[in-house]
A and B are shown apart, each in its own frame.
Chain A
Amino acid sequence: MRPGAGRRSVTGRATAAGVIVSALLILAIVFGSRLLENFDSALLPYAVATVFLAFGVAYRYTVWVSAPGARRLFKQGWRSFFSVANFRKAPTALPRMIATYLAFQKFLGARSHARWAAHQLIFWGCILAALITFPLTWGWFTFTSNSGSGPGYEMRIWGFKIIGFDSLDFLGRLMFHGLDIAAVLVIPGASYFLWRRMKDRGAITGQRFAYDLVPLIALVVISVTGLLLTFSSIFLHGGGYEFLAVLHMVSVVFTLIYIPFGKFFHIVQRPAAVGMQLFKYTARQDQEVLGCRRCEEPIDTGPYVENLRSTMRDLGLDFDEWAEYCPRCKRVLRGSAYLSQVKRGFK
């Protein structure tokens, strides 16, 4: 293969994936909103941003899973996922991993309880906000009132009635203020991380403004401007609403377009990690643990080490048999070689 041809083919595949996914989203918007009948034109910039988001995520994802390390684990993860034998052996493994790993992020608690709590606030706040706003901007959700201005409303998805509610009762208020609740969750979480990025010397080491601080600032700006919109409509009779709406829209559009290219891409990457965990877990169930060739300390599962060795060979790292030695034995063997062949007696 000519130099650069591999990279060009990855770029080509990624562009094609981006175009296909964004085209599918446009079709889903058109048909989901009943040929744009339910599409709210005031939300057009948001909808356009989600199409860019779909393109960017598909593009970056394709580039990401094209690299040898990710590609091999990606395949093994899906293989474990679709394996009927694995499912029979451990039917609860996958839902348990999704719950502990993706939803409640238990591993973050092992790093720091405060960071776990702050991340949970941001996570659930963003999930809530996404579940409300994405379908709204695509014209999939509509809230209609026979009287024109309520208080009785009907919530429809793709034009089909789901529930009817009174906007003044508890459920109605909860639904109408869902985004305010999301903002109240996100603000303390993001503020904690911002504070940490300014105070914690470990976090400060090597931090980059665009990568580490911009996403947090964006979350705070989106949440605060969102809350101010509610404040304006309730207490200021709409004073400053238009300015706030533009500010809010700009911050949301910027964040959506930033997702594939910055820190937020971990949202897309994380679910793939469950595949990796499942791949290791199922091999461990079969007692396929590989011990160090020298000291017999368990290294990892046999299939996992074989997968790593294949990745190393793909990358031209020809010392892949070294992967069957534990880190300590590698160091000791290197020390012994230095002792016997370079500086006898370490003199």
Chain B
Amino acid sequence: MMGRTIFIDPGRCIGCQACVSACRECDSHRGKSMIHLDYTDEGQSVASLPTVCMHCEDPVAPCAEVCPADAILVTADGVVQQADTTRCIGCANCVNACPFGVPKIDLQAKLQMKCNLCYDRTAYGLAPMCATVCPTGALFYGTVEELQAERPGVQVADTFTFGRSEVRTGVAMVVPADRVRWPVPGGLPVVEINGKDVRR
């Protein structure tokens, strides 16, 4: 986990979309929002999940690894940058390989875009736009110590399972204290689709 990073607590998310609007103001992708806000059980529950780039550390950035054009740079501070505009060929390898479903692609412009942790701000010690405007603290930017000072007893996890694989990330999620030793399930293997058991 990076020193100062984003901590996501879906339990606090009220689905207000403030993060989505604020993300559009980020200088590196002005006018386009890179954060995703999904309603996981639409129509049945108000639960919502904000998704920023998780800045995978181990394996290092699967999106960058599968990129055929070496377009995705990982900076020394662990931030996985969005595709270099000169190199990106718009193949969508990164979009489909990302286990978290983060990168977006503009097929006309042949260009991938994704959350870069508001590098124009975080490089200068400012919080990313989404964490700055989140009214409930579902997106918190800081160190784990700062988070725990503000929210005593809170625990975080930075490892996710996808089938037999584990992915350790730079961005972490808030988890209950008894779950901190276990990786967070990433959704794979898929258990059921639209009410149908697909385990077999």
Cβ B96 vs Cβ A70 within 8 A? no
Partner of A333, one of B104, B163, B165, B187: B187
Q: Contact mask A58-101 → B, CB, 8 Å, 1/0?
A: 00000010011110111000000000000000000000000000
Cβ B62 vs Cβ A339 within 8 A? no
Cβ A328 vs Cβ B101 within 8 A? yes
Q: B137 to chain A: closest CB distance in Å? A: 14
Cβ B38 vs Cβ A335 within 8 A? yes
A345 to B44, CA, bound (A): 12
Chain B residues with CB under 8 Å of A201's CB are: 27, 30, 120
A69 to B85, CA, bound (A): 18
Of A10-18, A132-140, A238-246, A315-323, the stretch lying at the interface with chain B is A315-323
Cβ A327 vs Cβ B109 within 8 A? no
Cβ A107 vs Cβ B66 within 8 A? no
A335 to B49, CA, bound (A): 6
Partner of A73, one of B65, B70, B91, B99: B91
Chain A residues with CB under 8 Å of B62's CB are: 312, 315, 317
Cβ A300 vs Cβ B96 within 8 A? yes
Cβ A294 vs Cβ B38 within 8 A? no
Partner of B10, one of A72, A202, A294, A335: A335
A206-B96 CB under 8 A given contacts A319-B163, A331-B38? no
Taking A327-B36, A342-B179, A345-B47 as given, write out 13 further A-B residue pairs in contact, using a Cβ cutoff of 8 Å, ordered by the A residue number. Answer: A70-B70, A202-B28, A202-B30, A204-B120, A276-B68, A276-B91, A311-B66, A319-B163, A326-B101, A330-B100, A330-B101, A333-B187, A333-B188
Q: A308 to chain B: closest CB distance in Å? A: 6
Ordered by A's residue number, 7 sampled pairs between the chains whose C-beta atoms are within 8 Å are A67-B68, A69-B65, A276-B68, A293-B190, A312-B66, A333-B190, A343-B11
CB within 8 Å of B: which residues of A? Answer: 64, 67-70, 72-74, 107-108, 110-111, 201-202, 204-206, 263, 266, 269-270, 272-273, 276, 293-294, 299-300, 305, 308, 311-312, 315-319, 321-323, 325-339, 341-343, 345-347
Tell yes or no: B29 within 8 A of A by CB: yes
Chain B residues with CB under 8 Å of A337's CB are: 185-187
Cβ A346 vs Cβ B96 within 8 A? no
Tell yes or no: B34 within 8 A of A by CB: no
Cβ B49 vs Cβ A266 within 8 A? no
A337 to B99, CA, bound (A): 14
| Pairs A-B, 9 closest by C-beta atoms | A327-B101, A333-B187, A335-B40, A330-B101, A273-B89, A319-B162, A335-B49, A334-B187, A110-B108
Q: A180 to chain B: closest CB distance in Å? A: 27
A35 to B104, CA, bound (A): 55
Chain B residues with CB under 8 Å of A263's CB are: 86
Chain B residues with CB under 8 Å of A316's CB are: 59
Chain A residues with CB under 8 Å of B104's CB are: 327
**Chain A residue, CB-CB nearest to B64:** A69
Q: B62 to chain A: closest CB distance in Å? A: 5
Cβ B10 vs Cβ A331 within 8 A? no
Cβ B165 vs Cβ A318 within 8 A? yes
Q: A188 to chain B: closest CB distance in Å? A: 19
Cβ B89 vs Cβ A69 within 8 A? no
Interface residues of B in 43-86 (CB under 8 A from A): 45, 47, 49, 51, 59, 62, 65-70, 73, 75, 81, 85-86
**Chain B residue, CB-CB nearest to A327:** B101
Cβ B93 vs Cβ A311 within 8 A? yes
A325 to B10, CA, bound (A): 22
A201 to B27, CA, bound (A): 6
Q: A132 to chain B: closest CB distance in Å? A: 25
Partner of A202, one of B29, B75, B162: B29
Tell yes or no: B181 within 8 A of A by CB: no
